[in-house]
Amino acid sequence: MRRRFLAANWKMHKTVGEAVAFARDFLPRVKAARAEIAIAPPFTALAALGEALAGSHVALAAQNVHDEAKGAFTGEIAPGMLADLGCAWAIVGHSERRALFGETDAFVARKAAALFAAGLRPIVCVGETLAEREAGRTFAVLETQLAGSLAAVPGERAAELVLAYEPVWAIGTGRTATPAMAQEAHAMIRGWLRGRFAAAADAIRIQYGGSVKPDNAAELLAQPDVDGALVGGAGLEPESFARIVLAKEEP
């Protein structure tokens, strides 16, 4: 009942020309894909990539958003501005935003609510650091992030929410969580979502993120509560992202 959802997070990579060239190469490769697909380029490439993706089944996503609709917030982008460009999704609470730009769970919660209000959908990221995992605090950390970051999700929209479980120690390190570790965390998150959103929890997609590559995607995606992936480095190349998108449903 949960359609697989693969999203590429390009972070601070690609010019407008590079983004459009990616789309030309990538789209024919995923024509027959059954999975839902989104690409999150830098803000500067959203408009051009949106045009290049028009008419395809690949959606446009932003990597961040501000929670206010307008105002004196130098350097920030409002949800309505993203909607205006045809963005369907925005990533919020990525660990790089939390660690490098001081984003709190409360701010992430406001962003998620603002996205819903503007007709977009959030991909809300959570995940523990290596020190937290080694201290046996993974579940406690995830619970705190979930409670804080999802505090303002309207109950009737809960099924449209997407979570991304991204262990910080696996992001950009080549050190992927094992399928069993991913499943354990995803099952815990699903259990928490059931407590918070009741039956809607079974419709909420939970992506895994952290060094997902073409050769480890199938076994991660085969886990019962892994409903997709949020892909950084391997999402920068059309061939490798297409191979992840097309990874077998059953390895």
185: contact with ligand PGA by CB under 6 A: no
Residue from 50, 122, 232, 238 touching ligand PGA (CB under 6 A): that is 232
Nearest distance from C-beta of residue 191 to ligand PGA, angstroms: 23
8 touches ligand PGA (CB under 6 A): no
Which residues carry out catalysis? 94, 166
The residue (of 46 and 200) whose beta carbon lies closer to ligand PGA is 46
Binding mask 86-125 toward ligand PGA (x if CB under 6 A, else -) reads ----------------------------------------
Shorter beta-carbon distance to ligand PGA: residue 79 or 233? 233
- Least gap, CB of 212 to ligand PGA (angstroms): 5
Q: Residue 169: CB partners within 8 Å, gap ≥ 6?
A: 128, 129, 130, 133, 175, 210
Q: Which is nearer to ligand PGA, 158 or 171 (CB)?
A: 171
The residue among 175 and 248 lying less far from ligand PGA, judged by its C-beta, is 175
* Residue number with CB closer to ligand PGA (13 or 157): 13
9 interacts with ligand PGA by CB under 6 A? yes
**Residue 209, interface with ligand PGA (CB under 6 A)?**
yes
Residues numbered 140 to 179 that lie near ligand PGA (CB under 6 A) are 166, 171-172
Using CB under 6 A, pick the residue from 126, 153, 182, 230 that binds ligand PGA: 230
Residue closest to ligand PGA, measured at CB:
232
Q: Report how far apart, in Å, the C-alpha atoms of 25 and of each of 29, 45, 90, 154, 217 are.
A: 7, 16, 23, 38, 21
Smallest gap from Cβ 210 to ligand PGA, in A, equals 5
Secondary structure of the chain as H, E, C letters: CCCCEEEEECCCCCCHHHHHHHHHHHHHHCCCCCCEEEEECCHHHHHHHHHHHCCCCEEEEECCCCCCCCCCCCCCCCHHHHHHCCEEEEEECCHHHHHHHCCCHHHHHHHHHHHHHCCCEEEEEECCCHHHHHCCCHHHHHHHHHHHHCCCCCHHHHHHCEEEECCHHHCCCCCCCCHHHHHHHHHHHHHHHHHHHHHHHHCCEEEEECCCCCCCHHHHHCCCCCCEEEECHHHCCHHHHHHHHCCCCCC
Contacts with ligand PGA, residue ranges (CB under 6 A): 9, 166, 171-172, 209-212, 230-234
